[in-house]
Homo-oligomer: A and B are copies of this chain.
Amino acid sequence: MGANGDGDPVDTQEAIMHATYRALCTHGYANLTMQSIADEFDKTKGVIHYHYDTKQDLLVAFLEYLLDAFERNIAVDESDDPVTRLEALVETLLFGPPERGEFDHWELTTAMLEIRSEAPHNAEFRRQLSHNYETVEAMVIAIVEEGSEQGVFRDVDPEAVATLLLTAINGARIYQVTLGRDDVAELTNESLEAIVRDWLCHPDANGE
């Protein structure tokens, strides 16, 4: 798929997505134009317009592309126990996948923040971001439910636990790039680990 060189529309679309990513990282959302995307790309603005009628269409496709890559990167090893899986998921969400992914984690967080800031004005962005949120939320809920069934976790509302983890991770990543502080992500990881081990885990399951 998409390995036939220049003329292949899949290759071209992939190249446009990469160019959009680079243009967004370089110029920021406020200064992102079709021209600035074409400048990151060995083809003309006309080629971009052939595939995407408007900048809006292009950005909707771009967000889908980012979120697909994100969902591929957060798969966890189903054979691990719930505590290990939950902690691995938190670490991957906070710091990126263990094997270096397709994107630099800092740049990706910055690019996602730019798109998020448009979401209050853009129903299609909200729809895509909501779908992504619900996918990750469902992963956390499944792990918490399994841990509760096994008696490892105490009897909690899985959705409340998922909300706490996802909001803390989202907030930490945004502070990381907006304050320039990697230590906020490190401290969040430590705090969430403490919450999982000292609060979420059933007291009887401690020290086993």
Contacts and interface: CB of A to CB of B under 8 A. Distances in A.
A29 interface: yes
A13 interface: no
A133 interface: yes
Contact of A169 (B159, B169, B171, B179): B171
A174 B178 contact: no
A134 to B, nearest CB: 9
Interface stretch (A42-50, A79-87, A119-127, A138-146): A119-127
Contacts of A170: 167, 170-171, 174-175
Given A167-B175, A195-B164, A120 B110 contact: yes
Contact of A164 (B113, B116, B178, B192): B192
Interface string A174-208: 11011111001001101110110011000000000
A161 B191 contact: yes
Given A129-B178, A187-B159, A121 B195 contact: no
B179 A163 contact: no
A61 interface: no
Given A117-B114, A164-B191, A195-B164, A175 B133 contact: yes
Interface residues of A, number: 48
B164 A168 contact: yes
Given A159-B187, A160-B187, A187-B159, A174 B175 contact: no
A194 B166 CA distance: 16
A194 B160 contact: yes
Interface in A41-70: none
Contact of A119 (B120, B166, B178, B184): B178
Given A28-B120, A116-B178, 9 more contacts: A29-B29, A29-B117, A30-B118, A116-B117, A129-B178, A157-B190, A160-B190, A168-B168, A169-B171
By Cβ-Cβ distance, the 7 closest A-B pairs, closest first, are A171-B171, A167-B171, A170-B171, A117-B117, A164-B191, A119-B178, A199-B199
